[in-house]
Amino acid sequence: MTTKKVIDDGRDFIFPIFKFQKQCHADLMWQNGNIHLSSMKSFRDGTYGGLIDDDREGQVTLHFPTDHISNYQIIHEQQEISLDDFFIYCGSSDFFSDTLHWSISDGKETCVLITDFNEVVGKISDAIPELEYIGSQACDYVGRDIGALNFRDTRREQMLHNNAMAAWIKPHKYAPQKEFRAVWKAKGKLSSEKHINKDIGIQDFLIPVSYLGVDLLFSDNKPHTVGAKVVTVDGKNDAWFDIHYPLETFTPVIHKYGDHYLLGFFSPNSNVSEASFHGGQIGITATDDGLIGCNVFLQDILRIEYRVNA
């Protein structure tokens, strides 16, 4: 039995968050429970390089039409928002599809599955009292000129009264990241920092995910079978599946089963074709929203291995 867990607070379904990283950064998470928070301004400065830098991270322009009646008036008054003392901790809400392609293109080597993102965020807030927690949600890929093309855009008024909402606004070109982001506002000396590194002991909420060879999906136009294996402590309850990519794509979900939580692979399509399932503690579970296969008790999981069959 491992110590992998989520907090039992009545939730029936918990969708984990995936953090694609360099191997050296993932090792720090496994070994020390290390977290790395980045300031929004650090992305503007080109600190990280690759595909994640964004020269207007945390900035939006609110456009206010000078004539609210005429649809032909193109002159706008503008108000700029810039979040300079905000920090973020982010991951992806999806593993396969464009998210995986993006991470491989950006040189990421491995992945960490965070079983309970809410609990990890709470531990970060407790460990760093100089940060004021703002919220967690998926990014909104609508561009940074709010109200320029649609003067009835309700986001403009919302951001006017709550500037922090700009923390989740991104251009459409970043949409493949499918980013889920936690945001804090810094107080005191932290306001001038570019990043924060701290060991806070979150290992119980982390599962290693490997995907060696998966780049084959994006390097040729041939059909492939994709599989995933859940490796357990004693090997007796290992579970694995194979699907025809991209006809069916399954994403991990953690769900309640009696007094325990299981991790399985969820498909919103109940008509599963060209797929095979093996092992696990229970078979395929049917829910109102779809099917969950390869179910394994969360506490028994060592790692998840994705593969591509040529």
pLDDT per position as a tens digit, 281-297: 887 888 887 788 899 99
Paired tokens of 193: 């920092």
Is 41 found in the same domain as 179? yes
Q: Give me the domain span that covers residue 21.
A: 17-68+75-203
Q: Residues 110-162: pLDDT tens digits?
A: 999 999 999 999 999 999 999 999 999 999 999 999 888 777 788 888 999 99
State the pairing for strand pair 76-82/17-21: unpaired
Give residue 286's pLDDT.
Answer: 82
Q: Residues 254-278: pLDDT tens digits?
A: 998 888 899 999 877 666 666 788 8
Of the residues 203, 221, 236, which one is the last residue of a structural domain? 203
Of the residues 145, 176, 203, which one is the last residue of a structural domain? 203
Task: Please state, rounded to an integer, the average pLDDT across all residues of the chain.
Answer: 86
Q: Is there a domain that residue 21 lies in? A: yes
Q: Is there a domain that residue 260 lies in? A: yes
Give residue 215's pLDDT.
Answer: 77
Give residue 74's pLDDT.
Answer: 55
Is 299 found in the same domain as 187? no
Residue 66 vs residue 44, higher pLDDT = 44
Is 223 found in the same domain as 195? no
Is 182 found in the same domain as 147? yes
Is 216 found in the same domain as 193? no
Overall domain count for the chain: 2
Q: Is there a domain that residue 187 lies in? A: yes
Is 235 found in the same domain as 174? no
Taking the C-alpha atoms of residue 282 and residue 262, their distance in angstroms, rounded to an integer, is 9
Q: Is there a domain that residue 9 lies in? A: no
Q: Is there a domain that residue 93 lies in? A: yes
Give residue 97's pLDDT.
Answer: 64
Is 275 found in the same domain as 151? no
Is 168 found in the same domain as 33? yes
Q: Is there a domain that residue 4 lies in? A: no
Is 90 found in the same domain as 152? yes
Query: Residue range 179-191: average pLDDT?
Result: 94
